[in-house]
Amino acid sequence: MVVLDFGAGRGSWKEDYSCPYRKSLHDLQGKVKKIVGCDIDEAIYDNPTVDEKVVIKIGEKLPFDDNSFDLIISDFTFEHIENENEIAQEFTRILKAGGWICARTPNKYNYVYILIQLIRNSWHEQILKYVQPLRNEIDVFPTMYRMNSARKIDILFPDDKYENYTYYFNSEPAYFFNNSFLFFIMKIIDSFLPFYLKNNLFIFLKKEI
């Protein structure tokens, strides 16, 4: 496979020392023919997890030929995209027939992310210092929440072009101020949420042949 890591950034997942198995699953180098990383941030040039590094610009076409990739992966990037229609069209253009888009993104309608949407982007960095004290400031980016709902995925990638296997998933709470009691309370709340309010979307889309 030729793989595109869309929104690869600096490859911060490489610093995940808590779970070697998870990190080994994330690492595709040597397992595929080639992995290309792209991002709007020049931090991509410091990414050790990809074979090629490309800086892209918002509003411009992705600098790849038609039908270039067998697989497009994107981890916690869709929530930052502001030109969602153009990106969806570009994904369809550069993805081979039978290829896959695999992405993970917060669910726009989860209660935590509804609260985040009420906070100005300019305040996010300061607030996250308290909410996620272990998070590196370099990994904080503006959020748009235009491409991270199941309904929007259905619209952007219609069933006449894609087989859609997207599902909701509850990961452990991430925004709990590093407080074990609050973590426990949020776990209880999450256990009672209906599926469409769970905190993550796992997106799997297969382009029709």
pLDDT value of residue 111:
92
CA distance 108 to 45: 30
pLDDT at residue 125 greater than cutoff 80: no
CB atoms within 10 A of CB 85: 12
Domain segments of the chain as ranges? 2-107+143-174+199-207
At residue 45's C-alpha, the angle toward residues 120 and 60, to 5°, is: 60
| Start-to-end CA span in the chain (Å) | 16
pLDDT at residue 55 greater than cutoff 80: yes
Instruction: Tell me the DSSP string of 36-80.
Output: EEEESSGGGGG-TT-SEEEE--TTS--SS-TT-EEEEEEES-GGG
Q: For residue 160, give both structure tokens.
A: 């006449």
Whether the Cβ atoms of residue 96 and residue 123 lie closer than 8 Å to each other: no
Q: Which residues contact 21 (CB under 8 A, 6 or more apart)?
A: none
pTM for the full predicted model: 0.90
CA distance 101 to 206: 7
The CATH fold of domain 2-107+143-174+199-207: Rossmann fold (3.40.50)
Chain segment 76-105, per-residue pLDDT in tens: 999 999 999 999 999 999 999 999 999 999
Q: How many CA atoms lie within 13 A of 72 on its CB side?
A: 28
Q: What is the amino acid identity at position 1?
A: M
Mean pLDDT calculated for residue range 10-31: 90
Chain segment 132-183, per-residue pLDDT in tens: 666 666 667 889 999 999 999 999 999 999 999 999 999 999 888 888 999 9
Q: How many CA atoms lie within 13 A of 151 on its CB side?
A: 6
pLDDT value of residue 168:
97
Among residues of the chain, what percentage have pLDDT more than 70? 93
Q: Which residues contact 154 (CB under 8 A, 6 or more apart)?
A: 164
